[in-house]
Amino acid sequence: MNHLEFGASGEEMAASYLERMGWRILGRNIRVGRGELDIIAADGGELVIVEVRTRRIGAISPSETTVGPKKIKSLLKTARRYVDSIAYNGNWRIDIAAVTVTSRGEWCVEIFSDVTQGMEGGYMR
């Protein structure tokens, strides 16, 4: 499996996990301008933009640590454009879905919620 297929499998695992948690998947791989949003979901009445990161155990960094300040800034910009494009007026947030594949081939998903909280322009509306 090449890295693109591996990433797509991680996104599929993350979407399935979110659905099992009761979230509704509204869209996947949504292009907005030059950016892309991996998963758009509804968690109750809140819109959630989910950035999916997939790694194997033994990788240099855990999945969740690969989203640095530059990526967060890019996600915020793309998410704002998306929210504006659909004229959404409710609360929304950005989460990270860290997907890790163990040495036994098991897929594990962990959600890091509201990764922009406390940042200027973070948690919206």
What is the token pair recorded at 2? 């090449």
For the cut 70, the answer to whether the pLDDT of residue 35 exceeds it is yes
Least confident segment among 1-15, 43-57, 110-124: 110-124
CATH code linked to domain 3-112 = 3.40.1350.10
For the cut 50, the answer to whether the pLDDT of residue 9 exceeds it is yes
Please state the domain extents for the chain.
3-112
- Quick one: which of 107, 75, 71, 106 has its CA closest to 92? 75
DSSP collapsed to 3 states, 61-97: CCHHHHCCHHHHHHHHHHHHHHHHHCCCCCCEEEEEE
Q: For 7-35, what is the mean pLDDT?
A: 95
